[in-house]
Chains A and B, each alone.
Chain A
Amino acid sequence: MIRNIFITFLAAIVMLQTGCGSDESVDSKKPEIEILSPQTGAEFAPESAIHFQAKFSDNIALGSYRIEIHYNDDGHSHGRLTETGQPFEYENTGSFNGKREAEIEVSIPISHDAAHGEYHIGVHCTDEAGNENVRYVECYIGDNHDEK
């Protein structure tokens, strides 16, 4: 009797461990983001333009996007703003209208008094269910900041 219970117990463990598949009824798959331009580490001069290009795709339906650029104070200047200029900021949101694939290409003009330093370009995307994905690219305005 004991041995039978053992075997049943262990069999139950094995079965339950391998048998659980994914939830087919709900969408758990994140949308995909591929940033074609700019590449990490790219440098831009103030008053030039960033050529931004990215591809988005989802298994069911894309939702919306947010492209943001912000100045990343990495602590080197201990919170003090650089003496030259204002941190450049960019914000762009929009909807994909339920498409499964889309591409966004914009030219982002950099202000003439943009502070020099490291910036992050954040590309956020949701699908219609609410699954969210994000990709970041580091770039520099002005000279490449020597990290060391």
Chain B
Amino acid sequence: MRKIFILFIFLAFESYGHDRLKLSGTVIDEGGLPLPGAHVFLDEKAAVSGVDGGFEFSNLEPKSYIVKCNYVGYHPYQSEIWIKNDTSVSIILAAASIRLDEVVVTGAAEAGAPARSVENIGSAQILERYSGSFIKSVETLPGVNSMDIGAAMSKPVVRGMGFNRVAVAENGVKQEGQQWGADHGLEIDPFNVEKASIVRGASSIEYGSDAIGGVIEIDNSGVPEKNSFSGNAAFLAKSVNHTVGGSLFAQYRGDRYYFKLRGTILDYGDYATPTDEIRYLNYNIPVYNNRLKNTAGAEKDIHVAGGYLSDRFRTSMSVSRVNQLNGFFPGSHGIPSLKRVEDDGDRRNVEYPYQHTIHFKAISNSVWIAGAGDLHLDLGYQSNRRREWSQFHTHFTGQAPPEINPGLELDFHLRTYSANVKYHFHAAQHHFTLGAQNQFQDNDIEGYNFFLPVFQTASAGVYAKDDWNVGKKVMMSMGLRLDWGKSAVEAHFDSLLYRDLIGRGYEQNQAAQYAHRSVALKKPDMNLSWMIGLDYEISGKWTSRFNLGKSFRMPLAIELGANGVHHGSFRHETGDPGLNSETGHYIDAGLEYHAPDFSLSFNPYLYYFSNYIYLNPTGTWSFLAHAGQIYEYTQSKAMLSGMELSITNRIGGHLKFSGNMEYIYNRQLSGRYKNYPLPYTPPLNGFAELEYGFGSFDKNEWKYSLRLNGRFAARQNHLAINEESTPGYDIYGLALTGALTFGKQSVHVSLQGHNLFNARYFNHISFYRKLEIPEPGRNIQLLVRIPINVRL
């Protein structure tokens, strides 16, 4: 549904005898914040909005023009304007968000942003959809799934691709942690996301490696209004795991300088799940009191930002620290022991085993408006420290627990340095982007267990893009990128394991093969990516998109050089230093229909991977205790296809129905497992919601809204080797939201229930799926947000 809001401010002043007129204006979003870099077209003329959102066309004849404005992540804007005098306008762009608004514009065309499938979501919607983490907020969007570890940590999967095949970027800088791990959760404060764009489909031109499935672009670089002080306080409570927490935010701007500060604290206990026992490895493991022991945790986040704006320059610096502590169910580490899952009487304590991650980020963003273009420079430093603590255990003779930190099993410290530069400029109907990106990573390890080696990676990419406004109904995009990359992995010889195996009677070369936990290697790589996209407006109501391209992903240190038992997957996994970059060619399309009360969107896609990397069993037994077959990272040909469908319909004045569904079909095309599906594929799933708005209607929003929704998934029977079939489910929720006013102060209240019928259901791609641990049970949550605005 489109909302196009036109606000014209006519400054009528006399122009004596002038034929040549001027049109100037600003491009802003619904919150009044300027949108720099928006493409504005006046018939065939083009301009780009500056840092303050301003643009100008001069030398105009007095006649009527078609004004169009495009900005990635917002609905395209089009209108007719009659220039009789020098005119000033405000173009207010509406974010294409899941909270669809209702104002209709007739005859508006979809002149289209870059031809990909994008969903935009603002902070209000992220918090309203909150159910444990930022990714859970966007899980109901078609094409997006959440890979969960318990009730408070998740990582994204876009179009069935997750782990390192989805890039997450904050303010233009790619977030780097240990996202290859199934028990890793995305380290993002959900309260600290002002807006997010979920791009479905490869975005390698802008991001290089890792953006094969899509990109989640998080933005919190908004600028406060001049001479203002504002903030908000949010409080959250959840029943399913007794979460208590909140977030405080304050921002200030004088004339040119501004500051922002946010702190978030969340504390939660063991989560409730509707089962008395789980069955794993033929053990019946009791779940006492329907609560999963030791899944409690806490999160403490802080974010500080400051910036400076002038007419042609803007710079900001943002520093954040996300601190997440998350307990693991004791049965998920090693062989289940009935004693360890006994209720210890405290549902909030976090004992061994648990994980603790601290993600520190410092990002600098600068923009210069120069002539016909603008130059962006983004610099970033990230430090991701991830530690797993568990009771010391070993199967080797002679390995005593370390004297310092005897419980520190794994300790990964990844430092990432990024520098990105890009220059936009327009010429005639073209809007060009030239860019270069650099990233350097350094990984150190500690802990009594070895899994991930010490490594460094360096990568650099250069790219060029053209968005071409071909005509009234057609827009084309083209992009080309070249990437260089190099990985250096340090060798690690496990002498304890070597002595243990020799002692058990193995040959020297056999023992050495196991003891070489990682092998020194230096691997250079070069990759070319390209894309061609087309947006075509078929008629006033129908629009279409096509997209074709080539995308890639560099292999990770873990894929090149792992060798050991991964307790998280209970398998002996080995890497292959001979792996090449993963490459895929894709085609994706979109068809949309927009009418005043009804809209529909259909997005099919197809990927062909000449090289897809994932773990496959080798058929050879491991010698290590508890280990079965050795799994090796293998590359093979694969096909991945699917589609997303979404519908919105307004019924009468108060009711709105929205629904979406996605389906993924994939196949391995070569190798030992030809014709098997790919692992971790989400089943057919969908989301439907009926919303009833009531109370007063203001600024295209109801004061109060009642929502009834359902999420459903089909049984997943299309399994890679050694995956478990997961039954389907349907779970229901209810939400009541409203803005209460106390004098001049408004308070937003959101009372929600998730999984109202306390259904016992499983998420096929969840970390705890292997242990047959169901998803959390019924949850009632209350979120209160109090905005504070002070005009100075």
Residues of A near any B CB (own CB < 8 A)? 2, 5-6, 9, 12-13, 16-18, 20-23, 25-26, 28, 30, 63-64, 66, 68, 70-75, 78-81, 86-87, 89, 91, 93, 120, 122, 124, 126, 129-132, 134-136, 147
Contacts and interface: CB of A to CB of B under 8 A. Distances in A.
Contacts of B235: none
A63 B619 contact: yes
A95 to B, nearest CB: 10
Nearest to B714: A17
Interface in B376-424: 391-395, 397, 399-401, 406
Given A2-B649, A5-B600, A5-B647, 15 more contacts: A12-B661, A17-B728, A20-B715, A21-B717, A23-B677, A25-B675, A78-B401, A79-B400, A79-B401, A91-B504, A120-B625, A122-B625, A130-B616, A132-B617, A147-B339
Given A23-B719, A136-B335, A89 B504 contact: yes
B502 to A, nearest CB: 12
B684 A20 contact: yes
Contacts, number: 121
A130 B684 contact: no
B379 to A, nearest CB: 45
B623 interface: yes
Given A5-B600, A136-B282, A136-B335, A70 B717 contact: no
A102 to B, nearest CB: 16
B397 A66 contact: no
Contacts of B623: 91
B440 interface: no
| Interchain residue pairs A-B with the least CB separation, the first 5 | A70-B625, A22-B717, A79-B401, A66-B621, A17-B714
A96 B282 CA distance: 23
Contact of A120 (B401, B600, B626, B673): B626
Contacts of B400: 79-80
A131 B722 contact: yes
Nearest to B677: A23
A124 B617 contact: no
A72 B504 contact: no
Contact of B392 (A18, A71, A75): A75
Contact of A130 (B600, B617, B649): B617
Interface string B667-680: 00000110111000
A126 B625 contact: no
Contacts of B65: none
B625 A79 contact: no
A130 B721 CA distance: 7
A13 to B, nearest CB: 6
5 contacts: A22-B717, A70-B395, A78-B406, A79-B399, A130-B616
A24 to B, nearest CB: 10
B688 to A, nearest CB: 8
Contacts of B283: 136
Contacts of A71: 395
A93 B676 contact: no
A136 B395 CA distance: 16
Contacts of B712: 13, 17
A132 B722 CA distance: 6
Interface residues of B, number: 55
Contacts of A5: 598, 600, 647
Contacts of A16: 661, 663, 684, 714
Nearest to B617: A130
Given A73-B393, A79-B399, A68 B625 contact: yes
A132 B686 CA distance: 32
Contacts of A63: 619
A131 to B, nearest CB: 6
A126 B672 CA distance: 15
Interface string B627-654: 0110000000000000001010100000
Contacts of B495: none
Contacts of B7: none
A126 B629 contact: yes
A26 B675 contact: yes
A72 B336 CA distance: 12
Interface in B565-603: 597-598, 600
Nearest to B336: A136
Contacts of A18: 714
Contacts of B715: 20
Nearest to B395: A70
Instruction: Name, among A20, A81, A91, the residue most crowded by chain B CB atoms within 10 Å (CB to CB).
Output: A20
A93 B621 contact: yes
Contact of B649 (A6, A68, A93, A132): A6
A13 B626 contact: no
A132 to B, nearest CB: 5
Nearest to A137: B282
B661 A13 contact: yes
B628 A124 contact: yes
Interface string B286-311: 00000000000000000000000000
Nearest to A68: B625
A73 B728 CA distance: 39
B358 to A, nearest CB: 27
B731 to A, nearest CB: 14
A139 B683 CA distance: 41
A63 B598 CA distance: 57
Interface in B428-484: none
B647 A9 contact: yes
A132 B629 contact: yes
Given A22-B725, A72-B335, A136-B281, A64 B394 contact: no
Nearest to B352: A75
B24 interface: no
A93 B510 CA distance: 15
B395 A130 contact: no
Nearest to A147: B339
Nearest to B646: A9
Nearest to B399: A79
A113 B718 CA distance: 50
Contacts of B339: 147
Contacts of B686: 13
Contacts of B617: 126, 130, 132
A74 B337 contact: yes
B659 interface: yes
A30 B498 CA distance: 33
A23 B715 CA distance: 12
Nearest to A138: B335
A36 to B, nearest CB: 14
Contacts of A147: 339
Interface in B302-351: 335, 337, 339
Nearest to B649: A2
Contacts of A132: 617, 628-629, 722
Contacts of A86: 397
B647 A130 contact: no
B714 A20 contact: yes
A124 B399 CA distance: 26
Contacts of A126: 617, 619, 628-629
Contacts of B282: 135-136
Contacts of A12: 645, 661
A132 B630 CA distance: 11
A108 B473 CA distance: 79
Contact of A2 (B598, B616, B629): B598
Contacts of A21: 717
